[in-house]
Amino acid sequence: MSKTLTEIAEQLQATDKKVQLIYAFNGSGKTRLSREFKELLASKINEEGGDEVSISEMSRKNILYYNAFTEDLFYWDNDLDGDEHRKLKIHPNAFTKWVLEEQGQGNNIASNFQRLTNSTIEPRFSADFSEVSLVMRGDDQNKPIKISKGEESNLIWSVFYSLLYLIKEERNISEPENRSTNDFDALEYIFIDDPVSSLDENHLIQLAVDLATLIKSSYYPSSGRGLKFIITTHSPTFYNVLHNELGLNKKGKKEGCYLLEKLEDGSHRLDTKYGDSNMSFSYHLHLKQTLEHATKNNLVERHHFTLLRNLYEKTASFLGYSEWGKLLESAPGDKQGYLNRIIQFTSHNTLTGEVLPEPTPPEKQMVKLLLDNLIDNYSYWKQEAEDDQ
């Protein structure tokens, strides 16, 4: 059944689900849906409150959203004349004022950015928070540099994520009078639209794991009066990592997964979507091929442990095992050690600011050993390997 984006926004708003995860191809209306949803809640506040306050100021009190317009708040001054003082300018707006001035999140933003990018680039905000310079740590001249588009996206996401983490911590305190700030008491929704458009797969997966960890730790009482998250994306990998990390499925879960489509007449359709991949079992093959490429070319990184765990979970589910760790019993060596290391790399709480080391050469070899364990010892993968010959 076709609907307008306003009607779809109303459908999303009418549920008590903690998480609603939406997959859509680019051009399907994801960003416009986030705007419609924001305007819907703003209209609700205006009708109920009657205060003569602008929509943009009031809507941030019951919805916080991240989309392409959030990234547009930041733009480069490349110092074309002097070619020395490059900086990222910040349009004056309520969002960054809230994050930087009112909540003082500058240091947390820098820490999250460095962890997410695994870099020594240091963001430095100006005193009036109208711009940010990027400097390489250890550069005695402190010469501002221009960062890549992917790093820029990570920095802007870090601004949003730092505030999101603060909100989650405050809202997890059940009694409002015990919170350090009541700015977030009326907040109902977090709408996140495709924060991964410029990210490589490693950073994309890390961002998804971080976000899933935060959502899982956000208090959501049975009354349904906790924070609700709506996430849209065009990335199959981002969708699948979130789906797996959040444990979304159709068996008794309150969370929802959807596919948003734009129809030829300009209307839209939002269909319930079961399963974590867009082409069913073919995503298993995508994971297998990605891991084979990484192990063959010595390119194993932290995010490959997440992919390996996803592959074990999918294979265990397909073959009827109650726990994916049981598939490790056929692997040579220390089964518990394998399990512990995979869990360490895939479930580490990065919100503490502690940086997990990159995999060591033996750990990288472990990825190949455990991938071979699946292919050599379990019938489906063994048949796939034979068919590929």
Q: Give the model confidence (pLDDT) of 159-194 as tens digits.
A: 999 989 999 999 999 888 999 888 888 889 999 998
Phi–psi pair at 195, nearest 5 degrees: -80, 10
Query: For position 148, what pLDDT does the model report?
Result: 85
Q: Is the pLDDT of residue 57 over 50?
A: no
* Cα distance between residue 254 and residue 151, in whole Å: 35
* Cα distance between residue 172 and residue 341, in whole Å: 30
Nearest-Å Rg of the Cα atoms of the chain is 22
Q: Is the pLDDT of residue 259 over 90?
A: no
Residues 6+ apart with CB under 8 A from 386: none
Determine the average pLDDT of the residues in 16-33: 88
Residue 248 Cα to chain centre, angstroms: 15
The Cα-based distances of 361 to 276, 302, 337, 342 in angstroms read: 31, 12, 16, 15
Residue with tokens 């760790």: 325
* Cα distance between residue 227 and residue 263, in whole Å: 31
Phi–psi pair at 115, nearest 5 degrees: -70, -45
Torsion angle of C-alpha atoms 68, 72, 78, 80, degrees rounded to 10: 110
Query: For position 357, what pLDDT does the model report?
Result: 66
Determine the average pLDDT of the residues in 293-316: 86
Residues 6+ apart with CB under 8 A from 54: none
pTM across the whole model: 0.70
Average model confidence (pLDDT) for the chain?
81
Query: For position 382, what pLDDT does the model report?
Result: 54
What is the share, in percent, of the chain residues with pLDDT greater than 70?
Answer: 82
Domains defined for the chain, CATH in brackets: 5-72+106-118+150-272 (3.40.50), 282-388 (no CATH)
What is the share, in percent, of the chain residues with pLDDT greater than 90?
Answer: 23
Q: Residue 253 has what DSSP assignment?
A: -
The terminus-to-terminus CA distance of the chain in angstroms comes to: 45
Determine the average pLDDT of the residues in 253-277: 78
Question: How many C-alpha atoms does 359 have within 13 Å on its Cβ side?
Answer: 24
